Amino acid sequence: MLSREADSCFWIGRYVERAEATARMLDVHYHATLEGVPGMLEWESVLAIADCAADFRKRHDQLNERTAIQYFVFDTDNPGSIVSALTYARENARSIREMVASEIWECLNMIYLELKEWDVDKALAGTPHAFFTKIKNAAHLFHGITYRTQLLNETRDWLRVGTFLERADQTVRLLDVKYHDLLPATRAGKPEIGGLGVGGPADIHGWIAVLRSVSAFEMYRKTHREGIHPAGVVDFLVLNPIFPASVRYSIGQTEEALRRVSGTSPSSPATCDPERLVGRLRAELNYARADEIIVGGLHEYLQSVQKRCTEIGGSITKTYLSYQ
């Protein structure tokens, strides 16, 4: 496969995953603001997750549900908005239409055309949850069609590399920012509770919102029957080996797809830098423990994982995708 074609596949996966993650995040925050629990979830944290506070302030004087939805959904000048991400995904799919199943192209084209009929007024006039559900369902449809129709070849592997690397990155960002949001006791200079400075009703409600933002709440309750607690959330979202949105699972899927691309068997040594970087991170996640992560500093650990995801992406681009 040509580097240009692999690059298009890689970014289709990343953009669709990014659009879905943004829709999930906005949906949870919108409902949190409606519930009005002081200090539980803040729109500011959405800016922090996307690392775009400075850019947002250049365009909007106030941060509220209207400006946040406009910026993160409909602003075509924001490369991280849902409209931009799905537009880029569609453009990449159009450039390699002969390589992807026609249903994949039709799916991306359909949601792109549907989005053109929406704006922030229409989204807020109805139920924003219904709009965000439409975005999430479109992403689910994309993944389902890809699973059902696309050949098990490099095209599909590169789609998966982009999808799961982006998913790991988004889960780490969400958990790291929420970890700081949900520390009112620490911010107030009060004694820490449970080693994380959390424990009030708003904190518990906030952790539930974190789980719901990645559709993990129901599976968490089935896995951790003792209830909601920070160490359990960290264990589930970072280290769970079989939950599809966990960092460990996502990094594992990224490594497996990269090895299929290079033809390296799972039991053989890594043959290139991307395989070495992602394999090393996967091994560390396999043997990590939530309590040890917390004792060592959750924020520092998540920052390290996020940095390594960025390094993996850069190494993939340098090794496989650069063609100019």
pTM of the model: 0.91
Where does the chain have alpha helices with state H?
3-35, 43-50, 53-59, 65-69, 82-95, 102-115, 120-125, 128-149, 154-181, 184-187, 201-213, 217-223, 230-234, 247-262, 273-287, 290-296, 298-316
| Nearest alpha-carbon partner for 27 in 127, 122, 113 | 127
- Give the pLDDT of the chain (324 residues) as one tens digit per residue: 899 999 999 999 999 999 999 999 898 888 777 766 555 557 887 888 788 889 999 999 998 889 999 999 999 999 999 999 999 999 999 999 999 999 999 999 999 999 999 999 999 998 889 999 999 999 999 999 999 999 999 999 999 999 999 999 999 998 987 777 766 544 444 444 444 444 555 577 778 888 988 889 999 999 998 888 888 999 999 999 999 999 999 999 999 999 999 999 988 999 999 999 999 999 999 999 999 998 898 989 999 999 999 999 999 999 999 866
For residue 162, the SS3 value is helix
What pLDDT does 183 receive? 60
For residue 250, the SS3 value is helix
> Residue 243 corresponds to which tokens in the numbers above?
């939950």
| Nearest alpha-carbon partner for 70 in 14, 18, 22 | 22
